[in-house]
Amino acid sequence: MRFYPLFFRAAFSWMDAERAHRIGFEAIRAVHRVGAGRMIERFARPAESLRTHAFGIEFPSPFGLAAGFDKEGKGIEALAELGFGHIEVGTITGQAQPGNPKPRLFRLIPDRAVVNRMGFNNDGASAVAPRIAAARRALEQRYGAQRPIIGINIGKTKVVPLEQAVEDYRTSARTLAPHADYLVVNVSSPNTPGLRLLQSVETLRPLLEAVREESLASAQRHVPLLVKIAPDLADGDIDDVARLALDLGLDGIIATNTTIGREGLVSDPAAVEACGEGGLSGAPLKARSLEVLRRLSAVVGNQLSLVSVGGVETSSDVKERLAAGASLVQGYTAFLYEGPFWAASLNRELAKAAVVTRGTAPA
């Protein structure tokens, strides 16, 4: 019998979801601060056989933590001890912002899902950058060349008009790129008004070109650049984004963000309605996320790296995404339901299955 699901129901299931997240995250950080994380890390460190190459970087494992859990770079070292091959921090905006009014995070436990309308709450790029820089130095000292990878996810500040979005993203790229192993342009959250309009190729092209230019100038090196898209895009628009990524020479695409759809849920409709607006993540997103991955893979082949996220819960899910064309796989919502040893468990099962990704360097 697994302990954590029982603990979750007893300790967290009745609690406000954002408060539960804050308590859980602080507990993970506290374990790290007192040094106990080193014992966990010995148990959780991915097997050497899982080392994976994507966009010119070696990852300890193909499985990592998606953006949204650590929005401000406050727990990178602690999360690395849990076995994630990479930690994607963010979404971070050019200016600090409080996010949307509370309550703004809700669980649909029968669906193993979460609805959020957090609204990119974060301290802003200039405040977060030193934390990430310090975490990166600490990981380099501890793990050397085999350290977990740090991705940085950037988005638009809410008060910035859409016509000024490019400059806002430039600000974030200029501040954060020097500390990033890879950089993600998030244009797919449903919780910032108008943001998803930036996914059209006409507006996306100049945005990505500007971020890449600013990133290179600031970091003085090539920082792999990816774009994160929504599952709600029409199939034709997905194809257009894939072709744009190839045309611009991007390093990858992350698919997918949360969905505004509510189809196929088993939770009480009244409970779903009570959640209100926001992005749905978790198990209900699994089928569409996989469908988008396969569609992207059909267009881009092995010309760039695909990162699959959405409804990933088990090692079988990870293997399925890798087989469908992903170089890397991310999870988030299942972390809330499965607990702190989730990544370590998946890594062990993947190693036993002798998983090989299309991004793995040849022997």
Question: Is 311 marked as binding a ligand?
Answer: yes
Report the SS3 class of residue 211.
helix
- Closest by CA to 114, choosing from 16, 35, 236, is 16
Question: Is 12 marked as binding a ligand?
Answer: no
Question: Is 314 marked as binding a ligand?
Answer: no
Beta pairing class for 52-54 and 57-59? antiparallel
E strand segments, the chain: 52-54, 57-59, 63-65, 86-93, 105-108, 113-116, 149-155, 182-186, 225-229, 252-255, 279-282, 305-309, 328-331
Question: Is 117 marked as binding a ligand?
Answer: yes
Question: Is 192 marked as binding a ligand?
Answer: no
* Spatial distance between the Cα atoms of 335 and 201, rounded to a whole number of angstroms: 33
Considering just the CA atoms, what is the radius of gyration of the chain in Å?
A: 19
Question: Is 144 marked as binding a ligand?
Answer: no
Question: Is 333 marked as binding a ligand?
Answer: yes
* Spatial distance between the Cα atoms of 159 and 153, rounded to a whole number of angstroms: 18
Contact 335, 69 (CB under 8 A): yes
* Spatial distance between the Cα atoms of 197 and 232, rounded to a whole number of angstroms: 12
- Closest by CA to 163, choosing from 206, 214, 217, 121, is 206
Question: Is 301 marked as binding a ligand?
Answer: no
Question: Is 157 marked as binding a ligand?
Answer: no
Report the SS3 class of residue 41.
helix
- Closest by CA to 332, choosing from 342, 344, 321, 320, is 342
* Spatial distance between the Cα atoms of 122 and 99, rounded to a whole number of angstroms: 7
Among residues 61, 172, 188, 189, the one annotated as catalytic is: 189
Question: Is 74 marked as binding a ligand?
Answer: no
Question: Is 22 marked as binding a ligand?
Answer: no
* Spatial distance between the Cα atoms of 49 and 360, rounded to a whole number of angstroms: 10
Q: DSSP state, 247? A: H
Tell me the one-letter amino acid at 103. P
Question: Is 240 marked as binding a ligand?
Answer: no
Residue 189 among the catalytic residues:
yes
Other residues' Cβ atoms within 10 Å of the Cβ of residue 363: 4
Contact 333, 322 (CB under 8 A): no
**Token code pair at residue 175:** 């501040």
Question: Is 332 marked as binding a ligand?
Answer: yes
> How crowded is the C-beta side of 102, counted as CA atoms within 13 Å?
6
Question: Is 347 marked as binding a ligand?
Answer: no
Question: Is 122 marked as binding a ligand?
Answer: no
Question: Is 119 marked as binding a ligand?
Answer: yes
Question: Is 68 marked as binding a ligand?
Answer: yes
**Token code pair at residue 44:** 């959780």
Question: Is 121 marked as binding a ligand?
Answer: no
Question: Is 337 marked as binding a ligand?
Answer: no
Residues annotated within the binding site are 67-71, 91, 116-120, 153, 186, 191, 228, 256-258, 282, 311, 332-333
Residues annotated within the binding site for FMN are 67-71, 91, 153, 186, 228, 256, 282, 311, 332-333
Residues annotated within the binding site for substrate are 71, 116-120, 186, 191, 257-258
Catalytic residues: 189
